[in-house]
Structure 1
Amino acid sequence: MKGFQQVQQCMTDFVRDPDVSPGPAGIEPRRLAIYRDLFFNNIEGFLSNGFPVCRSLYAEDDWYALVRDFMRCHCCQSPYFLRIAEEFLSYLEDRRSAELDPVFLRELAHYEWVELALDIAEDELPPAVGVDDILRVALSVSPLAWSLAYQFPVHHLSVDFQPREPAAEPTYIVVYRNRLDEVRFLEINSVTARLLAIVAQSSGKVSSDVLAEIAGELNVEFSAVVTFGSEILRQLLDLDILLVN
């Protein structure tokens, strides 16, 4: 058994870093190359599909080098293929440091991962409920809606738009999956982000109480926020970002 484990470890080292590890002795190089390429192509393909904008920012050789570095340096904690994207995030956060990487790489990768995570999430939304008076109902944030804040405008990043410094103000985005199982995003402002946070922590408060809390934090009268706040709540409800309790 010890001999088999040694061969297995040798094969693993070769697949992860073929430039350093020669592979198990006695196996035809052509066969070793098949396994090497199979593993690399599967992982590279998954990362390219899961992080298409990140991929577009790199020349082919640089991207392949990044994927190889991920395989070589990161020890995955999950055996499931669908968790590779999450493992890639951990690698970027903990191990990756290269001058050629965009300064916003980690935030962009997180944003793209969120889209994937919501797409495969097993949560199901309850049937829609009609609401006549939005102020009299208690709302909750959908488990398929994630309110996020980034230093960079991640939803605008591309080959042609690559800022070198964070924006003056954070970018607030809700990424969500609706009842049609479509993953969408909505750019919001800091007040709406705070509104969602209060709803998430409200424990059954009706919407009028939530808006009253917002008014108190803004140091304005309730009447100053009720009309606009009601419209925002209605929009979030219609988008399946908020649910009726």
Structure 2
Amino acid sequence: MHLRDPVSEPAPADIEPRRLQIYRDLIYRNIESFIRKGFPVLHTLMGDQHWNVLIRQFIVEHRCESPYFRDIAGEFLSFIEHCPAAVDGQPEFVPELAHYEWVELALDTAGQSIPDNHHDEVTEQSFCQLSPLAWLLRYQYPVHRIRPDFQPTEPPAEPTLLAVYRDRTDRVRFLEINAVTARLIALFDGQGMVVSDAMVSLSMALPDWDRDRLMAFGLPLVCDLVARDILYLPGP
């Protein structure tokens, strides 16, 4: 307990103070360095003083559910989300920014891969499925744009919708989308769907659009989503 909380917990009497200091520094530096690499924007915005206080609070108060070092970033996110007092006084967007940065890390290290496309051309009869490495996200704040010179104090009128995904070159990318595109992408989640069937489902949200107009809008969009590796064309 002393290594976790050296301020409140007494040091063991049978260990040399110099050695204890080495262990304390090593534990803190390793955890802080790993988290900082996963949340670079958050670290920059908070500054070293507030950041180090937050990391120390995380080490002292949070009980990790996973024993694996690779899961520390997720545990840090859980700490921020479930202990709002930890980021008290920070901008309101901090929990969402932390989640967005964690998503990038989670996709970058995910062990899954995108199945091969079994067709070269996307048609109305193509069966499409959402990539296991593509996530649809909704935020109050435009988290993908936040940086030191852009820190909104209030959420905009419309939420930010993003498709964050890892492509076949293993690069994590994001695509800002509108509500209609988000609805269309969501139709291909789970078991997937034939493009024409997806358009029929989408038409319920766009009752003023006839079939031809909907297909003229939707088919090129699906082609683009397949090209980006957000959707793929599974085999039979």
Instruction: Specify the code of the residue in structure 2 equivalent to 1:165.
Output: E
Q: CA deviation at 1:216?
A: 2.1
Query: For 1:204 and 1:29, how far apart are their aligned partners in 2?
Result: 60
Q: Pick the aligned partner of 1:103 from 92, 114, 132.
A: 92
CA contact 2:116–2:233 (8 Å) conserved in 1: no
Cα deviation digits, residues 2-32 of structure 1 (max 9, x gap):
xxxxxxxxxxx21221111122112121111
Query: For 1:14 and 1:55, how far apart are their aligned partners in 2?
Result: 26
TM-score by length of 1: 0.91
Q: How does 1:9-158 map to 2 (within 5 A)?
A: 13-97=1-85, 98-158=87-147
Q: Pick the aligned partner of 1:244 from 218, 233, 236.
A: 233
Q: CA deviation at 1:127?
A: 2.5
- Work out which structure has the larger RCO, using CA pairs closer than 8 Å and 6 or more positions apart in sequence: 2
Cα deviation digits, residues 23-76 of structure 1 (max 9, x gap):
211212111111101010001001110000000011211110000000011000
Task: Give the 3-state SS of the residue equivalent to 1:113 in structure 2.
Answer: helix
CA contact 1:47–1:85 (8 Å) conserved in 2: yes
Instruction: Specify the code of the residue in structure 2 equivalent to 1:194.
Output: R
CA contact 1:147–1:174 (8 Å) conserved in 2: yes
Q: Residue in 1 aligned with 2:206?
A: 218
Q: CA deviation at 1:204?
A: 4.8
Q: Pick the aligned partner of 1:208 from 196, 213, 217.
A: 196
Query: What is the aligned length?
Result: 232
Q: Residue in 2 aligned with 1:229?
A: 218
Among the aligned pairs, what percent are the same residue? 47
Q: CA deviation at 1:199?
A: 1.5
Query: For 1:69 and 1:204, how far apart are their aligned partners in 2?
Result: 43
Q: Which runs of 5+ in 1 are unaligned?
A: 1-12
Cα deviation digits, residues 203-224 of structure 1 (max 9, x gap):
4531011012112221121222
Which segment is superposed worse, 129-138 or 179-188? 129-138
Query: For 2:142 and 2:122, how far apart are their aligned partners in 1?
Result: 35
Q: Which has the higher helix share?
A: 1
Q: CA deviation at 1:167?
A: 1.5
Q: Residue in 1 aligned with 2:185?
A: 196
Q: Residue in 1 aligned with 2:165?
A: 176
Instruction: Specify the code of the residue in structure 2 equivalent to 1:131.
Output: D
Task: Give the 3-state SS of the residue equivalent to 2:164 in structure 1.
Answer: strand
Which segment is superposed worse, 55-64 or 37-46? 55-64
Query: For 1:25 and 1:101, how far apart are their aligned partners in 2?
Result: 39
Instruction: Specify the code of the residue in structure 2 equivalent to 1:239.
Output: R
CA contact 2:116–2:232 (8 Å) conserved in 1: no
Instruction: Specify the code of the residue in structure 1 equivalent to 2:156.
Output: A
Please give the root-mean-square deviation of Cα atoms over the aligned residues, in Å.
1.3
